[in-house]
A and B are shown apart, each in its own frame.
Chain A
């Protein structure tokens, strides 16, 4: 299925969880502290990352701190 991750179309296996998307997007061993996830414009709590399965055409935003503001 195709899911948009940080604005880029990404091919993922069906039933991929948010936790799996993070591992793939951040690279192995990268800490997930200081990271937030939005799914289709809504906040997904950290506690839901493991259980939340994506569907085709979902929009995932993986966010972190950046200098600014």
Chain B
């Protein structure tokens, strides 16, 4: 593997992480996860429904995905910390995708509660992957708190609006040492490619895949976009210019003026 992706000491070959919400069925989810090539997928913790058949855990086990529990739906640091501890109890992993949201309409991160929860969970031995705003200052604070990865949003969860502030994302990528994973906002494959071109280490996609008309096909598209974007980042893009820059010089240009012959 010439370009491994490492979180908290664990190496992945895929740089696409799958969200598991929004799929019409577990079968559809399984086909999408397989097509995505993801090796890490996030799941929420909810009340058990005794009538439920099958489990998202079975899907992830069959597809060989490592489990990344999350604290989706938590509004306070206390709820998020308790949910992370419950997830550790349920799944036997100390990895947690930490989400602390401010309100149901925007689902935007609650910065103060988020940082508080991150500090508590790091102290409690968790590998914290923190879902955060595209705020370079907050991203640095989360890194300093000991987060294993920082996951800035491109735009609000499920909005499919892509990356609204590429400059902030570039600043975050430039200033952090821990992995930066674009989380939220991917609407289609090109958004994932742009995230990787900007220097993100990985992309998390959920709704873009699970709510697409053909989720497995979109999963494949996003996988290829992540790979393409990563390659482009490593290759180094040319600078943007206001004026054209000829790829062939004007030297040795033939004289083709239609001048009448002197004879």
Contacts and interface: CB of A to CB of B under 8 A. Distances in A.
Given A27-B50, A63-B45, A66-B44, A38 B86 contact: yes
A46 to B, nearest CB: 6
A63 B48 contact: yes
A67 B29 contact: yes
A64 B48 contact: yes
Contacts of A67: 20-23, 26, 29, 43-44, 56, 210
A35 B48 CA distance: 8
Nearest to B55: A65
B72 interface: yes
Contact of A65 (B43, B73, B99): B43
Contact of B48 (A6, A42, A43, A68): A6
A64 B72 contact: no
B29 to A, nearest CB: 6
Interface of B: 19-23, 26, 29, 42-48, 50, 55-57, 67, 69-73, 82, 85-87, 89-91, 97, 99, 206, 210
A22 to B, nearest CB: 9
Contact of B57 (A7, A34, A46): A34
Interface of A: 6-7, 25-27, 30, 34-38, 41-43, 45-46, 61-69
A2 B50 CA distance: 20
A62 B52 CA distance: 14
A57 B56 CA distance: 32
A6 B87 CA distance: 17
A26 B47 CA distance: 11
Contacts of B97: 69
Nearest to A8: B47
B85 A43 contact: yes
Contacts of A68: 19-21, 43-44, 46, 70, 72-73
B23 A43 contact: no
A45 B85 CA distance: 9
9 contacts: A34-B55, A43-B82, A63-B46, A63-B86, A65-B91, A66-B46, A67-B43, A68-B43, A69-B72
A43 B84 CA distance: 10
A64 B90 CA distance: 7
A34 B90 contact: yes
B73 to A, nearest CB: 8
Contacts of B44: 65-69
Contacts of B19: 68-69
A66 B55 CA distance: 7
Contact of B42 (A27, A30, A41, A69): A69
